[in-house]
Amino acid sequence: MSTITYPPIRDCVNSLGIPVDNLSLQQGTDRIIDMAKTRDGKSRLVSTLNVDFLVNSLGYAFTRPRHPEVLTVLRTSDMVTADGFPIIWLSKIMGKPLQQRVAGSDLTPLLAQRAADEGLSLFLMGGAEGVAAAAAESLQKANPALKIAGTCAPFISTDGAALVDFAANDAQVLQAINSSGADILLVGLGNPKQELWFNRNRHRLEVPVAIGVGGTFEFIIGSVKRAPQWMQQLNLEWLFRITQDPQRLWRRYAVGLFKLGILTAPLIYYRMKQELLYRGSVDDKRPRIRWNSVWSSLNQSLAVLRLPSLVTAAYLEELVTSLQREQSGTALRLLDFSLVKHIHFSGQQEFSRLAQLLQDPQNDISILGMSKRVKRQLAACRIMDILGEDGNGDTLSTLSYTPQASRQQETGCKSYVMSQTTLIFLSGRVNGDGLNALGFMECLQHATRDRTCILDLRNVTLLESTAIAELYPLMAQQQESRRGAIMISGADANARQMFRMTGLGEQVLFIDDQTFLACIAAEGQEYE
């Protein structure tokens, strides 16, 4: 049994939010063979991405895909190849050209040859009745040592009423595949049906790797002709295919390329802007990641990183490595984007990796200060929908958590003292008696002598008028004397209404989460 741990660190190009592996045909075949040898109970998916597949998964809205499930399958595939010249062209716009087109029709014959040499078996699924069996016979004729575990041509539906009974409908074909002991499954259902079928049955498949090969079986048996070699080399295979079936394919290619043009127009704009403003600005030296340590204790630490104005691929790669190295449940990381003006196109895939780290609930990493123009660039690259609109939640929720917050009748308090700012998080039902029992007012008065104080109410279930009566005199005094300041963050509609109802809200300075995090980002001592 192979001891290969998959996946390796993938060299990918971000293609409108989809990571396409930068592999040659030979390298792609080698990786699939490695997957097939890795029998660890996990079934892996290889997707072959073409224009039709790409535009049908994405929508024109930057944050709302046309088919969210298909897009997620593509983003989480264990390997994605470029099946079409437009995908290669798109990679050039992104500043990192892919090595080679790796189409399913080219991959399958080479894979059959390697499988025969390695003693691995293939299972062919899909196509019209008898097509998969004929393709298997053709592959075996070309490679006598090739093991064919089985073939089938089931009727598969991924929408409509048939979807309701998919488990029962798929049971027979799954039984055939699993009982065959196949090492590699070739699924020729066409996209996105083949990927959706795999996704809904991933946990029930026992084959180590499945590959979506579209109409490859028809190419193998010769029922559909491939373009001459010279047309393939000139990236004109699409033109040859149109001549073979003009009534069906001209509309498909025309519409697909039109949609791709709309999707890539913003990318071309930002790429031209990069060439005009940032040409020659990329430093090839290893970047230095310099954090600011805001505080560190036995239970928790917080560090802030202020990113440079031009964020390169090398910088992002070093940053992701730094975050992964310091990964800890008590380590909070805050990324300050306030200086960032542009993210270099060659670093878009690395930024996708960063976005995934940000979305991982096990990591306490948040962002602040991202400008609208940077957000627009990331949205055009289809990364913003991975990142999400709000990058503040994890850090603030972790900082503000107190055990008392779960007991709604008690007043809880948690504080962090920094060089210029004191953070105080209240929780539970907050009233005057609760604050006095904690000795809160004496501590607050001391904290505001020489520094700003941020009083956070996001975990307060009820702010009573008696608590406001205790807080207000000191807040008004500090504002009048201009010695320190007390600001309120995390106040929900009920808390703000209580300040208004008591008639004591005029002197209160409410701040949003971005301002709160900006105060934290200004703190600390630098380290690498």
End-to-end CA distance of the chain: 42
Lowest mean pLDDT among 183-197, 247-261, 411-425: 247-261
The CATH code that applies to domain 401-521 is 3.30.750.24
Listing DSSP states for 238-286 in one string gives HHHHHHHSHHHHHHHHHHHHHHHHHHHHHHHHHHHHHHHHSTT----SP
Q: Residue 92 has which token pair?
A: 């050039």
pLDDT tens string 35-66 = 999 888 889 999 999 888 888 888 777 767 88
Confidence bin at 328 (pLDDT 50/70/90): low
* CATH class of the domain whose range is 291-398: alpha beta
Confidence bin at 107 (pLDDT 50/70/90): very high
Residue 429's CB is within 10 A of a number of other CB atoms, namely: 19
Q: Cα separation of 445 and 40, whole Å?
A: 61
> Nearest CA to 367 among 380, 382, 383?
383
Helix or strand run (H / E) with residue 292? strand 291-296
The edge-to-edge listing of strands for the beta sheet with 291-296 is 364-368, 331-336, 301-306, 291-296, 525-527
pLDDT, position 367: 82
> Nearest CA to 478 among 489, 488, 491, 490?
488
Mean pLDDT over 112-135 rounds to: 92
3-state SS, 44-55, equals EEEEEECHHHHH
Q: Residue 137 has which token pair?
A: 């016979």
Confidence bin at 210 (pLDDT 50/70/90): very high
Q: Is the pLDDT of residue 5 over 60?
A: no
pLDDT tens string 232-264 = 666 666 666 667 666 666 676 677 788 888 888
Q: Are 199 and 163 in contact (CB under 8 A)?
A: no
Q: How many whole angstroms from its chain centre is CA 259?
A: 23
- Kindly report, as residue ranges, where domains of CATH 3.30.750.24 are found in the chain: 291-398, 401-521
Backbone dihedral angles phi then psi of residue 292, each to the nearest 5 degrees: -105, 120
Q: Cα separation of 191 and 215, whole Å?
A: 9
